[in-house]
């Protein structure tokens, strides 16, 4: 699992800390489902790309995870959706927005890869649209089968202990580790978030895990009326990920093969699960060859040119080349190889004229390790 995805899992896991620290206040009153869906609808970020193509994104404070993009394509007789959200309530909110836009049914739902924030809404779509076809690569479906809710809950449990200890210490000392004070208002806010995230963890445990019922390898094309959809299996932050290209609108949905922060300018915020970094770059070059007017990344706002895509290709390819050069010059340990990698010049081009993006050097360190693992078939010296 990628480092930032794991980070989000740990952040989400703070839900459990509220069990002890906020117990005196009692459980938060449950909102009626209709109220929760309406609240989620109001929080959704909506981008209308024209031609019947819409993007809906839930902010992290709604999904307690990463803010995944769902791409909705309204055709002559039906709707195709690319990626479902993390939470059931968010999926219901997107479905409500689709019904607000059109009475046409969703007939195809595509899951880009196995990470939970891209397919946990499958159950809601399947209930709302009988006969729904859910599409993914065969490898993606296999990964989903092998990763039950307990896989994600283990990460949530680990993060619980970290957040619980941090808040408990702040209650004792009156301050957080950075020296900032724990005021009554901040404590109440944090305890409320803990309660909300506790509910999120309960949702994860109870969520029906609905698998794709149509799989493919390498490439797949289908049509809805006159509109063609092309699916391609690529390497991204997960193996055998799916991207969707809609030729008549020249729109590409990448899943997490390409992601960006909310400002759409910073460098890629995580690395791949495997150490197949060269295939990832090759996949991005393949996408760069498409005729595009819009790129919808797995996270972050839609891009309307290839600048970010090409800078990301340059960044990844340069890190790989420098890692190879360090190894060929006789460097052996991971620390020595990482020290030889310098791509600050490229990073400064993401937000022109600004300092290095936050977390950039950590990203370089992580990606360098992946590149070294790939170059040595996993046999690296971490001393």
Strand, helix or coil for residue 222: strand
If asked whether residues 166 and 314 sit together in one domain, one would say no
- 301 located within any domain: no
pLDDT at 262 over 80: no
- 66 located within any domain: yes
- 351 located within any domain: yes
If asked whether residues 257 and 141 sit together in one domain, one would say yes
Q: Residue 367, Cα to own-chain centre: how many angstroms?
A: 17
- Determine contact, residues 55/302, Cβ cutoff 8 Å: yes
The number of domains in the chain is 3
228: enclosing H helix or E strand: strand 227-234
Instruction: State the pLDDT confidence band at 19, using cuts at 50, 70 and 90.
Output: very low
Q: How confident is the model over 243-272, as a mean pLDDT?
A: 86
pLDDT in tens, 106-148: 999 999 999 988 999 999 999 999 999 999 999 999 999 998 8
For residue 87, which phi and psi values (nearest 5 degrees)?
A: -105, 150
Q: How confident is the model over 221-233, as a mean pLDDT?
A: 97
pLDDT for the residue numbered 263: 61
For residue 44, which phi and psi values (nearest 5 degrees)?
A: -60, 140
Entry pTM: 0.85
Structural domain containing residue 369: 307-375
Between these two residues, 13 and 290, which has the higher pLDDT value? 290
pLDDT in tens, 315-329: 999 999 999 999 999
CATH number at residue 290: 3.60.15.10
Q: How confident is the model over 211-217, as a mean pLDDT?
A: 98
If asked whether residues 139 and 168 sit together in one domain, one would say no
If asked whether residues 234 and 345 sit together in one domain, one would say no
- Determine contact, residues 286/249, Cβ cutoff 8 Å: no
If asked whether residues 118 and 240 sit together in one domain, one would say yes
If asked whether residues 190 and 162 sit together in one domain, one would say yes
Q: Residue 212, Cα to own-chain centre: how many angstroms?
A: 19
- 380 located within any domain: no
Mean of per-residue pLDDT scores for the chain: 86
If asked whether residues 25 and 51 sit together in one domain, one would say no
Instruction: State the pLDDT confidence band at 32, using cuts at 50, 70 and 90.
Output: low
Q: How confident is the model over 260-265, as a mean pLDDT?
A: 68
pLDDT at 10 over 80: no
- 381 located within any domain: no
User: What is d(CA 156, CA 141) in angstroms, rounded to the nearest whole number?
Assistant: 23
- Determine contact, residues 328/349, Cβ cutoff 8 Å: no
């Amino acid at each position: 699992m990628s480092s930032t995805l794991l980070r989000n899992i740990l952040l989400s896991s703070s839900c459990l800390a509220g069990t002890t620290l906020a117990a005196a206040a009692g459980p938060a009153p449950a909102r009626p489902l209709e109220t929760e869906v309406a609240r989620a609808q109001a929080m959704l970020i909506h981008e209308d790309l024209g031609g019947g193509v819409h993007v809906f994104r839930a902010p992290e404070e709604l999904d307690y995870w990463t803010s995944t993009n769902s791409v909705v394509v309204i055709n002559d007789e039906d709707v195709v959706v690319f990626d479902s959200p993390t939470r059931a309530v968010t999926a219901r909110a997107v479905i409500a927005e689709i019904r607000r836009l059109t009475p046409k049914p969703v007939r195809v739902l595509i899951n880009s890869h196995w990470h939970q924030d891209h397919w946990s809404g499958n159950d809601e779509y399947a209930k709302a649209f009988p006969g729904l076809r859910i599409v993914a690569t065969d490898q993606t479906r296999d990964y989903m089968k092998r990763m039950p809710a307990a896989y994600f809950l283990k990460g949530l449990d680990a993060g619980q202990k970290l957040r619980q200890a941090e808040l408990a210490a702040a209650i004792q000392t009156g301050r957080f580790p950075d020296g900032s004070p724990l005021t009554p208002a901040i404590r109440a806010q944090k305890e409320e978030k803990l309660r909300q995230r506790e509910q999120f963890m309960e949702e994860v445990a109870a969520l029906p895990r609905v698998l794709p019922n149509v799989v493919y390898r390498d490439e797949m094309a289908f049509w809805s009326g006159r509109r063609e959809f092309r699916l391609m299996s690529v390497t991204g932050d997960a193996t055998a990920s799916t991207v969707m290209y809609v030729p008549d609108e020249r729109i590409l949905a990448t899943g997490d093969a390409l992601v960006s922060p909310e400002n759409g300018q910073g460098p890629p915020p995580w690395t791949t699960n495997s150490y197949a970094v060269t295939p990832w770059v090759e996949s991005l070059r393949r996408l760069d060859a498409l005729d595009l007017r819009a790129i919808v990344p797995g996270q972050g706002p839609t891009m309307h040119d290839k600048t970010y895509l090409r800078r990301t290709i340059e960044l990844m390819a340069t890190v790989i080349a420098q890692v190879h050069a360090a190894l060929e010059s006789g460097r052996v340990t991971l620390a020595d190889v990482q020290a030889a990698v310098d791509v600050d010049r490229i990073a400064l081009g993401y937000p022109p004229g600004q300092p290095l993006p936050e977390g950039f050097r950590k990203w370089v360190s992580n990606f360098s390790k992946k590149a070294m693992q790939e170059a040595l078939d996993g046999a690296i010296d971490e001393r």
